[in-house]
Structure 1
């Protein structure tokens, strides 16, 4: 049996966990031990053999310590034109002295919030890596937006990651947004160095009645980073949640995103782009759970894959028996720019109600040669024409980002990639 799969390998790691949240951590440990790391034939990780990747990349399975981050590093990492508040993290640990004091929003360490219902949204029995995080995260951040608060400026979660080879970075974030409140979160990472480390992130978001929440994220980790993220949201009556996730880099990346529609007239939106080259591997697993009548979900993920990269999309929509009048849409479209690029796509619907409007589909293809010829015939060189077509393909997702500076930043990253590579 390989080193990582032996139970005693994890005993020292789990034993090093802090003593706070004892019942939460016990549940996480029990769930982690009962599930074990995904086997080769595990259905949920069928096309993403992350256990093998961890065994080959992570030799020193130990918690990563915070790195020294300067105010100058924070300033240089800020997006051009960004006007908002910043919460800074170093290897998953909150750095309050470099973070904004956000007016009208409570921000504190999780260690001072023992009554927080950690694991009640991102349940540890749903994913073994969520269980591992719950069992052994060092500390986390608690963010509370009060009832009726209108947070006009975006809140940037700025993470600096640069663990030593084989170490584990485990951010833990709890966000609760009160009834009738509105807020936008931006999630951005900066990699310090090119070591092989494991980033295992859990974000739980609890939205109140009639709340409006945006969560925009760019994944651009170092090329040797192995990453798993579990982001899960409870969406109540008349509330709206929108997620946009852009995956651009990393060795092997697994994104688990789940929306729980728990009230009538709730709306959940999930949009994503994965723009991959080299040998990057990105797996997007999404889950939308319709539990109540008169709710809506929209999902659109697009992939552009070059070289020997690999993309995986597995989207699940559950419509429970009581969830009549559900409206659910799911689509995954992909363009392959290389004969060696691979995508595995599996949109799924599981419907137990009979009065619903649900659709799903996927496409895998290459650039439209007729459109490419059309642009070239009008004096546009082939490289530029390809870039224009690919940018137009991605633009349908990018336009979902309402925060202007973050959208411009994302557009710039994608244009740079398309222009220099394709």
Structure 2
């Protein structure tokens, strides 16, 4: 009898446990063991789970992905050239290949005093004390079996620490590349922004097209009083890949969190973003764009908890769906009893380019305070025939008219970015995802 998906990963853990970084740390051993036990009991989420009712992960459960080797990658001229083409100009670049940090392809450069950018594996082996509290804070509250798997298997990722009042002079580009088939990577990123610090982070996931693999990543962020954190994520995986990700944000007094999520790849992709406005006058802004085609399935679940007074949140997600693809958007905003004077607005708009495309959208508001200003809404529609007619009357053919209107719909999200180098890169990617080419302005 073949092993079940859960049994397979439990056996994988037994196989690689001795080689995981930090294996001699008692607190980490306990955290890994608790995570393994949680996964053994919870297993993979099913359609009977409310938060997963529209997204089946049976394909992941059936597959037998293996944890890769822990050694550094071998010299590879083609891979080096691709990394160079993906690197954002003017950024501190940290490269991970098949889940492991690769110093030979990274370009971190000189960082200001008080700013640390290190490999999580190196931290666990050399100076683990700063990461203990952050890695152990959720061991009894995993949102899904995937998060527990990440804790059990995490081997590497980025550790970013900003002392009070510090800020990198350039954005930090975390580039994760998968080059091997049937591989699973469990990366973990930690961001700790002390009082009054500022940082802009781009988390970028790519893979060799045509490869089947599984990315399971978690990013934890803690922003202290008056800290400002920008986190931009670009998901550009192989169309045969699985991508499951979580972003967990804890905000202090007066802190600002800006999130943007661009989902363009992956056969099945799921992103969970949880934001806790845990002190007064905290603010967050969540933007997102998902573009799907073929039989892609992309799911975004967000949750914003307004726990204290005078908080402000803005959420704006758009989707463009073609072929027989499917998207899910579930955005929940919870205003807790003590969160008076909360100002929260949420919107999700979707454009269907095919009769076979489908989106399930569910914006939610739960309000337990009486002095608030909150709204939410969602739309699902097709291209406006009047706008198509107008462009046709100006000599634009039908296909180009549709492509121009689709580009304009999606480009609104890109244009909201303040980071110029990422905005230019995404504009190019958008054109490549349209049914017909749209020329760049000269």
TM-score by structure 2 length? 0.89
Give 1:89 shift.
0.6
Residue 420 of structure 1 aligns to a residue whose secondary structure is coil
Q: Does residue 74 of the first structure (1) align with residue 91 of the second (2)?
A: no
Instruction: Give the unaligned 5+ runs of structure 2.
Output: none
Q: Deviations over 1:280-315 (max 9, x none)?
A: 110001111111000011111100100011100011
Q: Deviations over 1:39-83 (max 9, x none)?
A: 231211111101x11134x2244346554365444323224xx21
Determine the structure 2 residue equivalent to 1:114: 128
Determine the structure 2 residue equivalent to 1:347: 363
Determine the structure 2 residue equivalent to 1:62: 67
**Structure 1 residues 411, 41: closer, same or farther in 2, change over 3 A?**
same
Give 1:26 shift.
2.3
Q: Does residue 143 of the first structure (1) align with residue 195 of the second (2)?
A: no
Note the 1:17-28 alignment, pairs <5 A: 17=17, 18=20, 19=23, 20=25, 21-28=28-35
Deviates more, 1:273-282 or 1:186-195: 186-195
Residue 264 of structure 2 aligns to a residue whose secondary structure is strand
Instruction: Give the unaligned 5+ runs of structure 1.
Output: none
Determine the structure 1 residue equivalent to 2:184: 168
Q: Distance in 2 between matches of 1:121 and 1:352?
A: 25
Larger relative contact order, structure 1 or 2 (CA cutoff 8 Å, min sep 6): 1
Determine the structure 2 residue equivalent to 1:244: 260
Give 1:122 shift.
8.8
Question: 2:87–2:173: 8 Å Cα contact kept in structure 1?
Answer: no
Q: Does residue 338 of the first structure (1) align with residue 323 of the second (2)?
A: no
Runs of 4+ residues over 3 Å off in structure 1: 1-5, 60-73, 121-124, 419-422
Question: 1:122–1:232: 8 Å Cα contact kept in structure 2?
Answer: no
Q: Deviations over 1:250-308 (max 9, x none)?
A: 11000011111112111111100111111111000111111100001111110010001
Deviates more, 1:411-420 or 1:211-220: 411-420
**Structure 1 residues 316, 181: closer, same or farther in 2, change over 3 A?**
same
Q: Distance in 2 between matches of 1:389 and 1:194?
A: 30
Determine the structure 2 residue equivalent to 1:53: 59
Q: Distance in 1 between matches of 2:49 and 2:437?
A: 35
Q: Does residue 103 of the first structure (1) align with residue 111 of the second (2)?
A: yes
**Structure 1 residues 4, 345: closer, same or farther in 2, change over 3 A?**
farther
Determine the structure 1 residue equivalent to 2:44: 37
Q: Deviations over 1:318-345 (max 9, x none)?
A: 1111011111111111111111111111
Note the 1:130-279 alignment, pairs <5 A: 130-165=147-182, 167-279=183-295
Residue 24 of structure 1 aligns to a residue whose secondary structure is helix
Alignment root-mean-square deviation, CA: 2.0
Give 1:38 shift.
1.0
Q: Distance in 2 between matches of 1:295 and 1:359?
A: 14
Residue 27 of structure 1 aligns to a residue whose secondary structure is helix
Give 1:127 shift.
2.1
Determine the structure 2 residue equivalent to 1:286: 302
Q: Distance in 2 between matches of 1:244 and 1:127?
A: 23
Q: Distance in 2 between matches of 1:212 and 1:68?
A: 38
